[in-house]
Every structure is written in C-alpha cells, then in structure tokens.
Structure 1
Amino acid sequence: MLRIRAFRRRWFLALFAFIFVLFLLIRSLEQVHIPTSGAYDVEHTLLRQPFQWHPRLSDVETANITTCRNSVQGSQLIVDERGYVCSRGDLTSGGCCEGTASQYNCSSCKANGCCMFYEHCVSCCLHPEKQPLLEKVLKEARQIYDKLIVSASDQFELCLAKCRTSSKSVQHENSYRDPHAKHCYGESPPDLQMALT
C-alpha cells in the first residue's frame, strides 16, 4: 500500500513537472517572433506589389469616365477617385461627382497637409503634385511596416487610408491635437493646439 502511494506521488510529480516545462516552453516560444510562411509571404508580397499612381488625364478624358470609386461614408460630402469633391446629391449612379464638383480641393487644408474635412484631405492628397510627398510616406510605411498604408495598391487607396484619423491625430487618447485639422495626408501629425480653458 505504501509502495502504491509512493508510486502515485512520483507519477503525479512527474506529470506536474512535465506540464510546467511544457507551459514554460510555450510561453518562451510566444515571446520569440518567428514569422510563419503565410505571414512572411503576405509581408513580402505587400512590399513588392506595384503601386499605381494616378495618371494625368485631360479634362476630356476625365469627363468620359462614367464609373468611379468614392469615399462612400460622407454624410454630406463625397470625394471620388479622380479627386473631385461634391455633395452627396451630385453623385452619379456610377459613383462619380458631377455638377458643382471641385477637383483637388484643398480649401480646408493647412500647409502641413492636415485638413478640416476628410473629403478635402483625400481630394488634396490626390493632386499630382503630392506624389513626391506620398512616395516618402510610402517609404516610411514600408520601413515600419504599417499594414494599412503598405496594403494600398494605388494613390486613391493610399489617400483614403492616410487621411483617416489615427493615434497620431490625438493626444492623451481623448482629444484631437488640432480639432480643426485632424485629417492629414503628410508625414507629420497635426500641429498641437493649446486648449483654451
């Protein structure tokens, strides 16, 4: 009887030690980041994908486009992939802005590339003159592997992603750095504005 108890006690201790060592092994493997082949393939595919800059189109060519991607979510304003901003009522059935649309609208944007309205930010970002700045943004995003920016396949997707507010737009996690220009397409976050109390 005594032998059986000693055997059970040893068996229990051996099982406990095995589980503890297994737990430590799993824990140490979680801390070491070994990319799986799937994650590796996705990362390197994104870094190698060709990026499509918007071609410069004449007014005639632009007018002949009948279907467009657009920003979708604006309650009053919409921006299409050609850089036109219009009211939701001026959107065609193909998703393009028409009527009183303005192209490359930077009217609510500051010199640092931060704008009051999301749609103005995207429209301004789509201007062909912004390509050198956006190339820097892409290069930086690839270095730090910002998945949202790196996964953009063309300038419109890049501008949509870049102009969304992010953690760079806020301070202390509860207020915007600049509540009047919180949508930015440039390299810098919005300027910090002093709150008036």
Structure 2
Amino acid sequence: MVVNNDIWINSKLVPDEYEIKHTLLRQPFEWQPKVSEVQLGEGNSTKKQICRNSVQGKSLIVDERGYVCNRTSVDARGCCHVKRGSRLTSKHRCDTCSKNACCVVYEYCVACCLKPDKRPLLQKILTNAREGLDIALGSVSDHFELCLAKCRTSSSSVQHENSYRNAFAKHCFGENPPELQALVT
C-alpha cells in the first residue's frame, strides 16, 4: 500500500493543542521545596544542599522555603540565612500584600504565595492554566516556580498598554489582576 507523502507532511494526526495539554497534565507537580529545613541543618551530611532563590532583587531575595532576606543575608548555598530572633529574615511574609493577593514588593508576593494556606487557590489557578493551555504557568513543575511566575508583572498588570492597573500593588498571585486605578493626567 502506497500512501501519498503529502498527506503525512501536510496533516497532523494529533492537533498541537492536544499534545501541549496532555504533556502539561502529565508533568508531576511538587508542593514541597526541593530543599527542606532539615537538609539545611547542621548534620553529618557531606552533600551540600543548594537553595533556589529569586536572584533578581536589588536589595531583597526570597528563597524557595519562603524566607525573605536582604541580599547580604544569602548564604553560600543560596538560602536566606535564618537567625533566631532576627527581624531581617522572615518566612511567608505578606505585609505588603492586599486581600486580593496583590503585593507591592515582588519578593513578599512570592513569600506570601508560598504559604501553605495558599495551596487551594494555587491548585485552582494551576488547573485552569493547564486546561487553558497557558504555557507559562502550565509548564511550572513546583510551588516555587509557580509563585515566581505568578508574581511577575504581566499584561494583566497593565492598562492601556503603558501603565500599571495599580502602580503600587502590581505583583499578584491570585486569580484576578490588580484592581484598576484611575489614570492621573
């Protein structure tokens, strides 16, 4: 049986949308940080655990455990150095975030998003992203990556293509974009 090569070249047996969606749905998702508090503790382990962090902050960093610290407080492994009683390093800090999950500071947005009680909201967002073929969110593999991606400003953070919907609280991890603010002219 001879099959015309043009049929195979010009047609796909499986639509692209199907492949993208099912590839994203098959990816395992990790809700726990890749490095735990126990692994970072002083122990007999000779293997050094590396912490992922937000990297880009001018003065603040958030690590994958949800700690926010000054850049100068990041240790050699990339983690925020946690010192008992220190007010400089805090975990899951949401004090620049509003009830609609929009925050003034990117690092606090990520830290707040990493709070365990935000998981149901994030599961809903992740499911909607994967079903809607949102490549940016649907392809994240863990809680930290999801929060980094959600808190970045995006087209949903702006109005009229050139100004933020809310000039102060523009980093959001919730379902809705920042509240629309009146333009000042």
- TM bucket (normalised to shorter chain) is 0.7 to 0.9
State how far apart, in whole Å, the 1-side matches of 2:93 and 2:148 are: 15
Does residue 169 (structure 1) correspond to residue 169 (structure 2)? The answer is no
Partner amino acid, structure 2, of 1:125: C
Percent of pairs identical after alignment?
Answer: 57
Moved more, 94-103 or 155-164: 94-103
Higher relative contact order, structure no. (Cα contacts within 8 Å, ≥ 6 residues apart)? 2
Moved more, 95-104 or 42-51: 42-51
Structure 2 counterpart of 1:17: none
Does residue 179 (structure 1) correspond to residue 167 (structure 2)? The answer is yes
Structure 2 unaligned runs (5+)? 1-9, 43-48
1:91 to 38, 58, 74: 74
Structure 2 counterpart of 1:152: 140
Structure 2 counterpart of 1:14: none
Structure 2 counterpart of 1:103: 91
1:53 to 24, 27, 31: 31
In structure 2, relative to structure 1, the CA distance for the partners of 1:95 and 1:157 (3 Å cut) is same
Q: Is the 8 A contact 1:109 1:115 kept in 2?
A: yes
Structure 1 unaligned runs (5+)? 1-28
Structure 1 counterpart of 2:41: 64
Give the 3-state SS of the residue equivalent to 2:69 in structure 1. strand
Which one has the bigger helix percentage?
1
Structure 2 counterpart of 1:130: 118
Q: How many residues align?
A: 165
User: 1:42 Cα shift?
Assistant: 4.8
Give the 3-state SS of the residue equivalent to 1:193 in structure 2. coil
User: 1:45 Cα shift?
Assistant: 1.9
Give the 3-state SS of the residue equivalent to 2:179 in structure 1. coil
Give the 3-state SS of the residue equivalent to 1:145 in structure 2. coil
- Name the Cα RMSD after superposition: 2.8
Partner amino acid, structure 1, of 2:52: R
